[in-house]
Amino acid sequence: MITLDAVTKMYPKSRRPALDDISVQVEKGEFVFFIGPSGSGKSTFIKLLLREEVPTQGKVWIAGKDLAAIRSWKVPQLRRSIGCVFQDFRLLPNKTAAENVAFALEVIGKTRPVIRRIVPEVLSLVGLEGKENRYPNELSGGEQQRVAVARAFVNRPLVLLADEPTGNLDPDTSIEIMRLLDRINRTGTTVVMVTHDANIVNQMRRRVVELDRGRVVRDQNRGVYG
Amino acid sequence: MITLDAVTKMYPKSRRPALDDISVQVEKGEFVFFIGPSGSGKSTFIKLLLREEVPTQGKVWIAGKDLAAIRSWKVPQLRRSIGCVFQDFRLLPNKTAAENVAFALEVIGKTRPVIRRIVPEVLSLVGLEGKENRYPNELSGGEQQRVAVARAFVNRPLVLLADEPTGNLDPDTSIEIMRLLDRINRTGTTVVMVTHDANIVNQMRRRVVELDRGRVVRDQNRGVYG
Amino acid sequence: MRAKFVLSEAATGLWRNVTMTIAMIITTAISLALLGAGGLLYVQIQETKDLLRNKVEVMVFLKDDASPQDKKALEEKFRDDSLVRDFEFESREQAHERFKELFKHSPDFVAGVSKQALPESYRVRLKNPGDYSALADEYKSEKGVSRVSSQQETVSQLFAMIDAIKNTTFIVAVMQAVAALLLMANTIQVAAYSRRREVSIMKLVGASNWYVRLPFVLEAAIAGLIGALLAWLGLVVAKVMLIDKALKPIFTSGLIPVIEWSDIMMTGPILAMVAIVVAGVTGWSTLRFYVKV
Amino acid sequence: MRAKFVLSEAATGLWRNVTMTIAMIITTAISLALLGAGGLLYVQIQETKDLLRNKVEVMVFLKDDASPQDKKALEEKFRDDSLVRDFEFESREQAHERFKELFKHSPDFVAGVSKQALPESYRVRLKNPGDYSALADEYKSEKGVSRVSSQQETVSQLFAMIDAIKNTTFIVAVMQAVAALLLMANTIQVAAYSRRREVSIMKLVGASNWYVRLPFVLEAAIAGLIGALLAWLGLVVAKVMLIDKALKPIFTSGLIPVIEWSDIMMTGPILAMVAIVVAGVTGWSTLRFYVKV
Ligand SMILES: Nc1ncnc2c1ncn2[C@@H]1O[C@H](COP(=O)(O)OP(=O)(O)OP(=O)(O)O)[C@@H](O)[C@H]1O
Ligand SMILES: Nc1ncnc2c1ncn2[C@@H]1O[C@H](COP(=O)(O)OP(=O)(O)OP(=O)(O)O)[C@@H](O)[C@H]1O
Ligand SMILES: [Mg+2]
Ligand SMILES: [Mg+2]
């Protein structure tokens, strides 16, 4: 599903590459944890998959498509098949929670009635019933994060990328979200999750890829955090 | 040092209060964890102390001053005696990491030479040497969080408020930051820290205040997370 | 993509960025009002010139002793002449009347000029006002003719002056057009700039360029349209207040044609079109500039 | 607070929000250029009016048979008259010369008027142009006087026309001033709006109002100053290109005074001051509006 072949990413301003000659393969339907210290390149990995950044060297394939070869006007199509929880949420500040989630559906051309049915369902799945009409700045950190999670999976993407989806959540809510991701994964969605939460990784016992200073230092099936 | 007396905070749009008749007292030099599920009012508590929000009912005192009685042009003075790590970092996007930290010093009137000496020291304390001249959007999530931490304590405030200062950090870096906060606390600074990280709370064994739906449900010296 | 969605996006966008919207509307209104005023002025002056061109006459003065035969011969010659559009005989009385009328603001001179001092003349209007010196050459030595006033110097001086004013208004109108474009484009760019984060998020969620830009372009166009409407209302008010009231003495002199309601009406759609085109083009192209993702 | 810090904050602010800065400069430049042009025009017309006022003369025409004694008596009366500033005798020859000069654009009429047709006269300039009818009453039945041309109607019509133009330019200038203010304030408000998050963060970190606003106000003032400079350069270019070249024919007629370099020069500091004051006041007051914390 996802293949990185000898990918290096060098940001203009930094001295050492954020990703350094990385090759990773994720199969369809897999659930992979990406762990590693702060600044080790996890978010960069996700940005490459979304084509928010392009690799300095190497190639990235998603669902058999070489991202470097995709025409720029086809990029939106690619992104619609990928759901993403961003580390900094990236909610639209001018839209309410419900509108933020609805936006991901409007983009793929769902009709209003469908949207009006699905959005509240999904928001209540992440525990936000009653807060549909709040703007992001009227929600707590964890609530914003849950809106981001809801938006990422509402359109049933092929691949779900989650960058610290539980960073602002208490353990109980985190477990709820993890159950949700697990269920989504069982329906065949490939899930890539970046996390610092050792408890979650240890409990789930899935494949763990550990990065350090832009290199893969561990790639283990049914791994633990540390 | 900090006293809340029967404080209720009701946001315009919500049905139930974010803080509901809360009375808490924090002594000078104390180290207090605030824990609780997402949306339980922890960040609201911090916003009240900074006078970013004002209580709907009740009174808040910091260092003997009634916040409601402070004139609005004296509010900056209050804030200069409080360091704060915001949950969403709130770094100035147009300033580099070093400039963001320097800003907190410029505000209290430190001279350029002093600033030029202190800032790099503090940034290397949080593990960001070599990244002084990056803008926030050129830093990883964890790195931004560490800039926020550095800015919060660089001017040696009386009170340090930290809203999830380790939410985006891996366990090792988290422990570094906790050591730092502990050291700062030992110099006499009152530290209030909001966190979801059970491991940290359990290791530190300090006072724990647990909120749930805006009420204090537990207030325990040398407490644990769950 | 559904029109309804795009429109509602545009409407909420306008409402939620009230500051930007108001800025956009005010700027557009002011710019377009200037542009419209410049354009009207230019058209005005062009019309003045045309009016004057048609007033150009060659005067063929007769000797005091010109006989009726001489006059008949002249009239026949005029009739056959391909340069002449029409002509008119002016008796001494008529000449004096006209003289009094023309110089009514200088009654002292009129008083000093007796009827007999003014000669009889033919007033000849040309098909093409440029031909006056040709005509003068043709008739100046005819029998009974004392002198042909070609008005050449007068006319060319007058036209030089009007051309100068016309060029100036043209330059002013063009400068105001440039200013209007700059201001509108400027405001739209700032609006786009202030949205760059929002737009980049939309694109990361998979929104196509159309999806992101169309509501924005529509917003700019709607704001532009409202601005154009205001500008046009401004011109209408100016017509009522200034042209029809304050400037009346100028227009009653008859030299300058009145700015008609039809002219003012016509500017409406033109301004609206300018607003929409500028908003559309700038809006569409500028967003790309600020959002690279 | 140290000036150096505030200045460097302002400079980096300008540089990092290039889009806003450029928008601010362009808007200010255009607005102020319009304002300057409107102001110059107004002053111009006022000057025209003054020029004309001083040209107002009462003409006392003499009978053909007026004797030298009559003239002497009149001259003495003029000299003693408190209404009269000065006076001048005009012989038939002078009258004819002046007639030819005045109507040189209508040589056909000049040709028809003989020297003898024009009467002798005294041309009297008044201390106060408003007194012309009083003077006319006083002299019209003196011995040797045929008629006193009070020019009343002429003058009042002319002045009405000029007043109309003056009022119009005044209204236009005021409208442009309002437009300039609106545009500038608008742009500064948008700049403030686009900074509201940044400013709220600064305030949460303990920055005082001075600290947050002063750099911003300075930025606006600097941008305004650059804009004023550009506007002034624009006026200089307009002086060279339009007034001194294209409009030459108008000014050589002598009726309208030339816009002098000194006028243009003076607009510079005025525009700069307007820019700074508007930027300062709007900048200072507007930030509060968008940032409540
Ligand atoms: N736009 C950028 N310009 C320059 N350097 C960058 C940029 N974005 C990221 N970096 C650097 O690249 C490295 C990897 O960043 P990345 O965001 O991938 O880290 P991460 O693993 O997500 O860290 P965290 O857990 O803290 O979020 C970091 O050192 C960061 O400073
Ligand atoms: N500006 C606002 N307007 C309306 N409701 C708000 C606003 N800010 C916060 N709330 C609500 O108040 C409650 C408490 O919010 P707060 O941010 O204090 O939670 P929190 O304990 O910090 O949660 P988290 O751990 O998720 O950050 C939440 O239910 C939130 O939706
Ligand atoms: Mg990251
Ligand atoms: Mg919070």
Same domain, C218 and C242: yes
Look at B130 and A168 and tell me if their CB atoms are within 8 Å: no
The answer to whether D164 and C247 have CB atoms below 8 angstroms apart is yes
Determine the angle formed by the axes of helices A97-107 and A112-125, rounding to 10 degrees. 130
Per-residue pLDDT, C243: 73
**Can you say how many angstroms the Cα of residue D57 is from the centroid of all Cα atoms in its chain?**
25
The answer to whether B96 and B37 have CB atoms below 8 angstroms apart is no
Residue B78 pLDDT more than 90? yes
Question: How many helices (H) and strands (E) would you count in chain C?
Answer: 11, 4
Determine the angle formed by the axes of helices C18-55 and C261-290, rounding to 10 degrees. 140
B88 touches chain D (CB under 8 A): no
Residues D152-163 have a mean pLDDT of 65
The residue type at D216: F
Q: If pLDDT is split at 50, 70 and 90, which confidence band does B15 have? A: confident
> What percent of chain C has a predicted confidence (pLDDT) above 90?
9
B109 vs D contacts (CB less than 8 Å): 1
Q: If pLDDT is split at 50, 70 and 90, which confidence band does B22 have? A: very high
Per-residue pLDDT, D120: 84
Kindly list the protein residues whose Cβ atom lies closer than 6 A to any atom of ligand 1.
Answer: A 11, 13-14, 18, 36, 38-44, 87; B 131, 138-143, 168
Residue C66 pLDDT more than 70? yes
Taking the C-alpha atoms of residue B132 and residue B129, their distance in angstroms, rounded to an integer, is: 7
In chain D, the DSSP E strands lie at 57-62, 84-90, 121-126, 145-149
Q: Lowest mean pLDDT: which of A45-49, C68-72, D173-177, D213-217?
A: D173-177
Q: Lowest mean pLDDT: which of A98-102, C258-262, D33-37?
A: C258-262
Per-residue pLDDT, D253: 56
Residues A88-97 have a mean pLDDT of 93
CA of B164 from ligand 4 middle (Å) equals 8
Last residue of a domain, one of D95, D124, D150: D150
Residue D225: half-sphere exposure toward Cβ, Cα within 13 Å:
9
A50 vs C contacts (CB less than 8 Å): 204
Per-residue pLDDT, D151: 60
Q: Give the residue from chain C lying closest to A92, CA to CA.
A: C198
Q: Which residues of C208-225 are buried (b: 16+ CB within 10 A; e: fewer)?
A: bbebbbbbbbbbbbbbbb
Q: Lowest mean pLDDT: which of A9-23, C150-164, C271-285, D11-25?
A: C150-164
Per-residue pLDDT, A164: 94
Question: Given the DSSP bridges, would you call strands B159-163 and B190-194 parallel, antiparallel or unpaired?
Answer: parallel
Residue D262 burial (10 A CB sphere; 0-12, 13-18, 19+)? exposed
What are A32's strand-pairing partners?
A: A192, A207
Last residue of a domain, one of D102, D129, D150: D150
> Which atom number of ligand 2 is nearest to the Cα of residue B13?
4
The answer to whether C256 and C247 have CB atoms below 8 angstroms apart is no
Same domain, D73 and D103: yes
Residue D106: half-sphere exposure toward Cβ, Cα within 13 Å:
12
CA of B65 from ligand 1 middle (Å) equals 42
Per-residue pLDDT, B96: 94
- Nearest-5° Cα angle at A162, B135 to A144: 75
Assign D40 to helix, strand or coil: helix
Place of tokens 């209540």: A124
Q: Which ligand is nearest to the CA of A38?
A: 1
Q: If pLDDT is split at 50, 70 and 90, which confidence band does A38 have? A: very high
Q: If pLDDT is split at 50, 70 and 90, which confidence band does B202 have? A: very high
Higher local confidence (pLDDT), C241 or A145: A145
Q: Which ligand is nearest to the CA of A39?
A: 1
Per-residue pLDDT, D156: 65
- Nearest-5° Cα angle at B75, B72 to B76: 125
Q: Which ligand is nearest to the CA of A18?
A: 1
Determine the angle formed by the axes of helices B97-107 and B112-125, rounding to 10 degrees. 130
Helix (H) or strand (E) holding C26: helix C18-55
Look at A11 and B138 and tell me if their CB atoms are within 8 Å: yes
The per-residue pLDDT for range B164-199, each reduced to its tens digit, is 999 999 999 999 999 999 999 999 999 999 999 999
Taking the C-alpha atoms of residue B45 and residue B206, their distance in angstroms, rounded to an integer, is: 19
Q: Whose CA is nearest to atom 16 of ligand 1?
A: A41
Same domain, D270 and D207: yes
Nearest to B199 by CA among B173, B175, B165: B175
Per-residue pLDDT, D150: 58
Per-residue pLDDT, C163: 74
Which of the other chains make 3 or more beta carbon contacts under 8 angstroms with chain C?
A, D
Per-residue pLDDT, B99: 94
Look at C204 and A151 and tell me if their CB atoms are within 8 Å: no
Taking the C-alpha atoms of residue B80 and residue B106, their distance in angstroms, rounded to an integer, is: 11
Higher local confidence (pLDDT), B33 or D262: B33
Taking the C-alpha atoms of residue C255 and residue C252, their distance in angstroms, rounded to an integer, is: 8
Residues B11-31 have a mean pLDDT of 93
Same domain, C45 and C187: yes
Per-residue pLDDT, A57: 95
- Residues of chain C whose beta carbon is less than 8 angstroms from a beta carbon of chain A are 1, 5, 12-13, 16-17, 198, 201-209, 211, 293
Determine the angle formed by the axes of helices C152-194 and C18-55, rounding to 10 degrees. 170
Q: Please state whether the predicted TM-score (pTM) of the whole model is above 0.90.
A: no
What are D74's strand-pairing partners?
A: none
Nearest to D106 among C113, C154, C189 (CB): C154
Helix (H) or strand (E) holding B193: strand B190-194
Taking the C-alpha atoms of residue A121 and residue B193, their distance in angstroms, rounded to an integer, is: 34
Same domain, C109 and C63: yes
Averaged pLDDT of chain D = 80
Per-residue pLDDT, C244: 76
Residue D109 pLDDT more than 80? no
Look at A92 and C293 and tell me if their CB atoms are within 8 Å: no
Q: Give the residue from chain A lying closest to C13, CA to CA.
A: A94
Q: Which one of A169-178, C123-132, C163-172, D165-174 scores highest in mean pLDDT?
A: A169-178
The per-residue pLDDT for range D41-77, each reduced to its tens digit, is 788 777 777 776 776 777 788 887 888 888 888 888 8
Averaged pLDDT of chain C = 80
Taking the C-alpha atoms of residue A174 and residue A167, their distance in angstroms, rounded to an integer, is: 9
The answer to whether A77 and A157 have CB atoms below 8 angstroms apart is no
What are B61's strand-pairing partners?
A: B3, B66
Look at D99 and C119 and tell me if their CB atoms are within 8 Å: no
Q: What sign results for the dihedral spanned by CA atoms C19, C21, C24, C27?
A: negative
Q: Whose CA is nearest to atom 12 of ligand 2?
A: B18
Higher local confidence (pLDDT), C167 or C111: C167
Q: Give the residue from chain C lying closest to A153, CA to CA.
A: C205
Same domain, C166 and C240: yes
Residues D132-144 have a mean pLDDT of 80
Same domain, C241 and C255: yes
Taking the C-alpha atoms of residue A70 and residue C165, their distance in angstroms, rounded to an integer, is: 59
Q: Which one of A122-136, C258-272, D78-92 scores highest in mean pLDDT?
A: A122-136
Per-residue pLDDT, B6: 95
Q: Domain of D231? A: 2-52+156-289
The per-residue pLDDT for range A155-173, each reduced to its tens digit, is 999 999 999 999 999 999 9
The answer to whether D27 and D228 have CB atoms below 8 angstroms apart is no
Q: If pLDDT is split at 50, 70 and 90, which confidence band does D213 have? A: confident
Our mutation pick for probing the ligand 2 site, out of B9, B14, B46, counting the most ligand atoms within 8 A of Cβ, is B14
> Which atom number of ligand 1 is nearest to the Cα of residue B145?
26
CATH number at residue D98: 3.30.70.3040
Same domain, D230 and D94: no
Cβ partners under 8 Å of residue D190, min gap 6 = C19, C20, C23, C187, C190, C194, D20, D23
The residue type at B55: P
The answer to whether C6 and C214 have CB atoms below 8 angstroms apart is yes
Which of the other chains make 3 or more beta carbon contacts under 8 angstroms with chain B?
A, D
Q: Lowest mean pLDDT: which of A88-102, D167-181, D187-201?
A: D167-181
The per-residue pLDDT for range C202-253, each reduced to its tens digit, is 999 999 888 888 888 888 899 899 999 999 998 898 888 777 776 666 666 5
Residues D239-247 have a mean pLDDT of 75
Last residue of a domain, one of D96, D130, D150: D150
A84 vs C contacts (CB less than 8 Å): 204-205
Assign D36 to helix, strand or coil: helix
Same domain, C168 and C282: yes
Q: If pLDDT is split at 50, 70 and 90, which confidence band does C256 have? A: low
Give me the number of domains chain C comprises: 2
**Mutation choice for D interface testing from C104, C108, C251 by most D CBs within 10 A:** C108
Residue A211 pLDDT more than 90? yes
Within C195-204, residue ranges assigned H as helices are 196-204
Our mutation pick for probing the ligand 2 site, out of B9, B11, B19, counting the most ligand atoms within 8 A of Cβ, is B11
Same domain, D145 and D164: no
Averaged pLDDT of chain A = 94
Nearest to C293 among A52, A92, A108 (CB): A52
Same domain, C207 and C134: no
Place of tokens 């150009």: C56
Residue A27 burial (10 A CB sphere; 0-12, 13-18, 19+)? exposed
CA of B43 from ligand 4 middle (Å) equals 4
The per-residue pLDDT for range C104-142, each reduced to its tens digit, is 655 656 666 667 767 788 888 877 766 777 777 888 788
The answer to whether A21 and A83 have CB atoms below 8 angstroms apart is no
Per-residue pLDDT, A36: 95
Same domain, D218 and D81: no
Taking the C-alpha atoms of residue A143 and residue A134, their distance in angstroms, rounded to an integer, is: 10
Taking the C-alpha atoms of residue A118 and residue A98, their distance in angstroms, rounded to an integer, is: 10
Assign A30 to helix, strand or coil: coil
Q: Whose CA is nearest to atom 23 of ligand 1?
A: A39
